[in-house]
Amino acid sequence: MAMPIRPILKIISAPSATIPWPKRGTGKVTKTMMTGGEAVVAALEANGVRTLYGLPGVQLDHLFNALHGATDWLRVVNARHEQGVAYMALGHAQSTGTPGVYACVPGPGFLNTTAALSTAYAVHAPVLALIGQIHSKAIGVGGGELHELPDQTAIVRGLTRWNGIAHSPEDVPGLMRTAFEMLASGIGPVAVELPADVLAAHAMMDAAVKAEARPPALPPEHLVASAAHLLIAARRPLIMAGAGAYGGEGALARIAERLGAPVMMHLQGRGLLESSHPLAIGMGEGRQIWNDADVILAVGTRFHRLPAEWGLSETQKVVRIDTDPARFTIGRPPEIAIAADGAAALEAIAGRLAHLPPRNEAGIAAAAILKAKTEQRIAIELAPQMAYLAALRQALPADAHIVADYTQIGYMAADRHPVARPRQMLTPGYQGTLGWAYATALGAKSANPDKVVVALCGDGGFLFTANEMATAVAHGIAAIGIVFVDGAYGNVQRMQREDHGGKVIASDLVNPEFERFAESFGAKARRAETADGLAEALRWAMDQTGPTLIVAPVPRFPSPWALIEP
């Protein structure tokens, strides 16, 4: 028999008893009578979370009641749409490597967050989704409860690396501990579903639930020795590094310099070697020397796509390092497969190479020639885009964070803008999430208030989350948005014209007056009519104390895809 909505809403909206908040900072585990919602908040505090992005709703009443009592140490950033809070948590997580936490009601509220959650899945970002649920006894009944989905848990499971659901308030501390342990392991987003009655119910529970960091998976010594032997014997080694190598930047540089091996980095991997390092190359350069490499070291990256697209001869040898051994079964198996933490494996290999004198002169010379030729070709064939990239380089500090949307300047910046360290260039990875950048930049700026954070948006993607300018103003989040305006879904329309015989359909845009749009929220806006004007506008924006928008009309750009990798 279906359970009626009215009694359930009555249960979950009942006021919580007044309970003294557990004493903080003692380091002792004590049991305290608290609600499930208060247990969630205690776990957030114990695990160092100081910002939560969320929207309240009836199923989350008792979570937000608990948040109300924690505002002396926890900042709650409410947004105008659930996708906004999830993207902000993603920007927080990507830019810091620490958990970005969001809360949403079940059903349509949760579904509104799924584009951001799938993007977090794609880039292995440590996002914790606190997802409301209907009354626990109504789950799976199909009674038409408010915000009910046929099987919400199945959807959650498909978009996260780990998920759990609380069936009682006593479940909450253990689930939260496990969630933070999984986040610390680097696997990507996790979720805890919280039924409304569980959040409201009281129980005696541990007040502080501190997750224990799991030690990194160390590489087997015999595989490290085999990998080092193969790399030492290589005549033309090549390294490909992704986000799974975070933390191993120093070891990666030592390996590259000992071997004279160019290091190509794509999207999330950019910054593992500073762009100015003589052995750091882009994917465009890497493609040119791919088939000449006799040994390829791939660490913390989805390597299998490149052999499928670029080829891999029988004589080329591959060493792969990944925490997930299942990755080794996709495509051609590597000669040496090391299932281990990327940073730990790099340190171990670097130790095996420490006795070698650096042999990087030839590699540096070859990389310099390769980069010069590529840059020259890009400067000629993609001159319109590069003029705007030059403005970014000229105006932005070296430690700025850039959130690149799926737009013409975003594509180029993700591949060509100089990056000094990891987590500066934020992209949606293989998910290719159009419209993600502005709200994601708000999360990155919230987590990095002392850094310049810029969202590179097109007029197609900007309006996906432009309503969050209200959030930026309300919470004083001084991110800089740039909207490049060409009146179209530019990449789509160019393909329609060039690849499909001019069959242009559904790709033209009608836009608001973006400056007035921003100002209507209380943000400041400026127009940049040229690339030089963009540099000037960026300097102006960095002098402001609140959110700003730069509106940059641009021409239809030439296709970049022959010269850069998507």
> What CATH number should be reported for the domain holding residue 500?
3.40.50.970
Checking if the pLDDT of 389 tops 90, the result is yes
296-323 pLDDT tens trace: 999 999 888 888 889 999 999 999 999 9
461 CB contacts (<8 Å, ≥6 apart)?
Answer: 405, 406, 407, 434, 435, 436, 437
More confident residue, 18 or 229: 229
Pairing mode of beta strands 202-206, 31-35: antiparallel
Per-residue pLDDT band for 29 (boundaries 50, 70, 90) equals low
> What is the residue-wise DSSP string for 470-484?
HHHHHHT---EEEEE
Task: Let me know whether 145 and 22 are in one domain.
Answer: yes
Task: Let me know whether 233 and 358 are in one domain.
Answer: yes
Checking if the pLDDT of 172 tops 70, the result is yes
Closest listed residue to residue 299, CA positions, set 230, 227, 356, 401: 227
More confident residue, 519 or 331: 519
Could you give the maximum distance between any two Cα atoms of the chain, in Å?
76
For position 507, what pLDDT does the model report?
Answer: 97
Q: How many CB atoms lie within 10 A of CB 144?
A: 11
Q: Are 508 and 459 contacting, i.e. CB atoms less than 8 angstroms apart?
A: no
- From 369, 395, 428, give the residue that closes a domain: 369
Instruction: Work out whether the CA dihedral 130, 131, 135, 136 comes out positive or negative.
Output: negative
Task: Let me know whether 345 and 266 are in one domain.
Answer: yes
Domain extent, residue 295, equals 221-369
Per-residue pLDDT band for 10 (boundaries 50, 70, 90) equals very low
Task: Let me know whether 365 and 403 are in one domain.
Answer: no
Instruction: Work out whether the CA dihedral 445, 448, 453, 455 comes out positive or negative.
Output: negative
Task: Let me know whether 139 and 286 are in one domain.
Answer: no
Checking if the pLDDT of 23 tops 60, the result is no
> What is the residue-wise DSSP string for 201-259?
-EEEEES--PPPPPPPPPPPHHHHHHHHHHHHH-SSEEEEE-GGGTT-HHHHHHHHHHH
Closest listed residue to residue 183, CA positions, set 96, 257, 105: 96
> What is the residue-wise DSSP string for 137-161?
GGTTT----TT--TTHHHHHHHH-S
Checking if the pLDDT of 20 tops 60, the result is no
Task: Let me know whether 225 and 174 are in one domain.
Answer: no
Task: Identify the weakest region by mean pLDDT among 50-54, 62-66, 282-286.
Answer: 282-286
For position 15, what pLDDT does the model report?
Answer: 38
What is the pLDDT averaged over residues 292-296?
A: 96
Closest listed residue to residue 39, CA positions, set 137, 184, 174: 174
Per-residue pLDDT band for 212 (boundaries 50, 70, 90) equals confident
Task: Let me know whether 339 and 487 are in one domain.
Answer: no
What is the pLDDT averaged over residues 238-256?
A: 97
What is the pLDDT averaged over residues 518-531?
A: 98
Task: Let me know whether 78 and 108 are in one domain.
Answer: yes
Per-residue pLDDT band for 26 (boundaries 50, 70, 90) equals very low
Using DSSP, state whether 51 is helix, strand or coil. Answer: strand
273-285 pLDDT tens trace: 999 999 999 999 9
What is the pLDDT averaged over residues 380-403?
A: 98
Per-residue pLDDT band for 542 (boundaries 50, 70, 90) equals very high
Helix segments in 76-151, DSSP class H: 82-96, 108-112, 114-123
Task: Identify the weakest region by mean pLDDT among 45-59, 197-211, 243-257.
Answer: 197-211
Does residue 311 lie in a domain region?
yes
More confident residue, 208 or 373: 373
Q: How many CB atoms lie within 10 A of CB 216?
A: 16
At residue 548, φ and ψ (nearest 5 deg) are -135, 155
Task: Let me know whether 53 and 199 are in one domain.
Answer: yes
Task: Let me know whether 58 and 36 are in one domain.
Answer: yes
367 CB contacts (<8 Å, ≥6 apart)?
Answer: 262, 278, 279, 280, 281, 285
Task: Read off the DSSP letter of residue 58.
Answer: G
Report how far residue 401's alpha carbon sits from residue 541's, in angstroms, rounded to the nearest whole number: 15
What is the pLDDT averaged over residues 352-380?
A: 90
* Counts of helices then strands in the chain (DSSP H, E): 23, 20
Using DSSP, state whether 13 is helix, strand or coil. Answer: coil
Task: Let me know whether 190 and 149 are in one domain.
Answer: yes
> What residue ranges in 300-394 does DSSP mark as E strands?
317-322, 336-339
Checking if the pLDDT of 130 tops 80, the result is yes
Using DSSP, state whether 498 is helix, strand or coil. Answer: helix
Specify the length of the chain in residues. 566
Checking if the pLDDT of 30 tops 80, the result is no
Task: Read off the DSSP letter of residue 272.
Answer: S
Q: Are 169 and 196 contacting, i.e. CB atoms less than 8 angstroms apart?
A: no
Checking if the pLDDT of 9 tops 60, the result is no
> What residue ranges in 254-360 does DSSP mark as E strands?
263-265, 280-281, 295-299, 317-322, 336-339
Q: Say which amino acid occupies 392.
A: L
Does residue 515 lie in a domain region?
yes
Does residue 214 lie in a domain region?
no
What is the pLDDT averaged over residues 442-456?
A: 99
Distance of CA 328 to the CA centre of its chain: 23
For position 66, what pLDDT does the model report?
Answer: 98
For position 209, what pLDDT does the model report?
Answer: 76
> What CATH number should be reported for the domain holding residue 285?
3.40.50.1220
Report how far residue 157's alpha carbon sits from residue 153's, in angstroms, rounded to the nearest whole number: 6
Task: Let me know whether 456 and 425 are in one domain.
Answer: yes
For position 319, what pLDDT does the model report?
Answer: 98
Task: Identify the weakest region by mean pLDDT among 28-42, 273-287, 446-460, 494-508.
Answer: 28-42
Q: What is the number of domains present in the chain?
A: 3
Task: Identify the weakest region by mean pLDDT among 48-52, 353-357, 360-364.
Answer: 360-364
Considering the chain, what is the average pLDDT of its residues? 93
